[in-house]
Amino acid sequence: MRVAKFGGTSVANAEQIRKVASIIAENEERKFVVVSAPGKREATDTKVTDLLIQLADAVLEKGHVENALRAVVSRYEEIALDLNLSADIIETIKEDLQARVAFDTSHEGKFIDQMKASGEDNNAKLIAAYFQSTGIEAQYVNPKEAGLLVSDEPGNAQVLPESYDHLFQLRERPGVIVFPGFFGYSKEGTLVTFPRGGSDITGSILAAGVKADLYENFTDVDSVFAANPKIVENPVNIKKMTYREMRELSYAGFSVFHDEALMPAFRQSIPVCIKNTNNPEARGTMIMAERACVLNPVIGIASDSEFCTLYVRKYLMHREIGFGRKLLQIIEEEGISYEHIPSGIDDTSVILKQCQLDGEKEDRIITRIREELDVDDVYVERDFSMIMMVGEGMHNTIGLSARATSALANADVNIEMINQGSSEVSLVFGIRQEDEEKAVRALYEEFFGAADDSIE
């Protein structure tokens, strides 16, 4: 039994939805289909989710609601007409959107969640109707009906444990279940959306709930690549990787998955396969609990930018009990999360996403650290990038760090920070942002330059 999730580009128009129906029809094991909202049809297009956000803004600002509503409905009308569906499905979608527009706006976050979630919800209704028109026994199932319960945190829902028992009951339903991604319901019955990558999260939750044998995530690429193809020309594709490797790479900028999306499947040891809707015969990338690390200790190289570093220096810092806790408490009280904390005897650095630190907050934090911790020096430097090398085989490979630092040195890239996770699955280099692409290319050439077109 499989759960198949289709991303926005896979359901962007009628042509793509026909491909989805063909994929489902050719394998009866694909009983559960999770769908996103229609994505971009071409590079300059607008996603339906973005149209819905514009509609929500128009309602909140009392602007041109009719124009914004028409833009959303038109996308669904175009798809339905191209699929030769009856006008009934469009009328159903219109009525749904009108009801959402009339939703209480006193809690802005809940209202926006209602609007955004309609993209996935209405697309699931449309796709189920199309499946039925082609002879596939299919039914749309709403997450509320299925018992997908989540925490009441608009835009940041977390699945509640009892959801999995509820979802398991879906196994008994006949035919193919078409399930909208991106949202669930609180115990009070309020619709709440997941963070970004929410449809991936839904797919993973559903796979765990029904105890699927495989979770297939269909997108617009044949596999996961060892590096960003926008930086490295024709990077090798990855045939197999572990959950830990995928999570590390997702955190560090890989766009295939949100870094938390796989956790429900991971906990149930359900393998995940990345597949291409436009080339379903391609092998794809299999993500599993363990893999043999035979040829290459590094599986991938990722990067992310716009970090800043909070530098703190104090003589004999290492002897002062509680210094680290007090420092992190100040950061916590200012509502900021941190990424890495490399440190020495008399100094420490806290790596932050710089979007969290505006000028006013930066000044306040520096003042508090100087006064409350009596430090010798404290300041912030901006515009760093983090380059992450990931691989299960790294921890027992001698000389790997030397190879990496030599490659960066030969590319004239200065290393500002090095941090290796305790799991030894990743090695992170902090560098100046302007050197990011140069650094990725140098490391890729060092570890994959002689590789074939794919790696295990």
What b/e readout covers 155-175, taking b as 16+ CB neighbours within 10 angstroms? eebebbeebbebbeebeeeee
Q: How far is 444 from 347, CA to CA, in rounded Å? A: 32
What confidence tens digit (pLDDT) does each residue in 9-53 have?
Answer: 999 999 999 999 999 999 999 999 999 999 999 989 999 999 999
pLDDT band at 456 (very low <50, low <70, confident <90, very high): low
As a whole-number percent, the residues of the chain with pLDDT over 70 amount to 95
DSSP 139-155: EE--HHHHT-BB-S-TT
Q: What angle do CA 9, 74, 7 make, to 5 degrees?
A: 15
What b/e readout covers 45-67, taking b as 16+ CB neighbours within 10 angstroms? eebbbebbbbbbebbeeeeeeee
> In this structure, are residues 209 and 164 in contact, taking their beta carbons and an 8 Å threshold?
yes
Specify the higher pLDDT residue, 295 or 234. 234
Q: How far is 342 from 319, CA to CA, in rounded Å? A: 17
Q: Is pLDDT of 64 > 90? A: no
Q: How far is 366 from 358, CA to CA, in rounded Å? A: 12
Give the three-class secondary structure for 136. coil
Question: Hey, what are 121's tokens?
Answer: 């919800």
Q: How far is 243 from 262, CA to CA, in rounded Å? A: 7
Query: What amino acid occupies position 323?
Result: F
Question: Hey, what are 370's tokens?
Answer: 């100087």
Q: How far is 123 from 179, CA to CA, in rounded Å? A: 10
**Domain ranges across the chain:** 2-220, 300-455
What confidence tens digit (pLDDT) does each residue in 374-398 have?
Answer: 999 999 999 999 999 998 888 778 8
Residues 6+ apart with CB under 8 A from 319: none
Q: At what angle do helices 65-82 and 87-101 cross, to 10 degrees?
A: 160
Average pLDDT of span 299-315: 93
What confidence tens digit (pLDDT) does each residue in 140-197 have?
Answer: 999 999 999 999 999 999 999 999 999 999 999 999 999 999 999 999 999 999 987 7
Q: Is pLDDT of 444 > 70? A: yes
Residues 6+ apart with CB under 8 A from 309: 349, 350, 351, 352, 380, 381, 384, 416, 417, 430
Query: What amino acid occupies position 27?
Result: N
> In this structure, are residues 444 and 227 in contact, taking their beta carbons and an 8 Å threshold?
yes
Residue from 300, 290, 286, 225 nearest 256 by CA:
225
Residues 6+ apart with CB under 8 A from 74: none
This prediction has a pTM of 0.84
CATH topology of domain 2-220: Carbamate kinase (3.40.1160)
Does the 300-455 domain belong in CATH 3.30.2130.10? yes
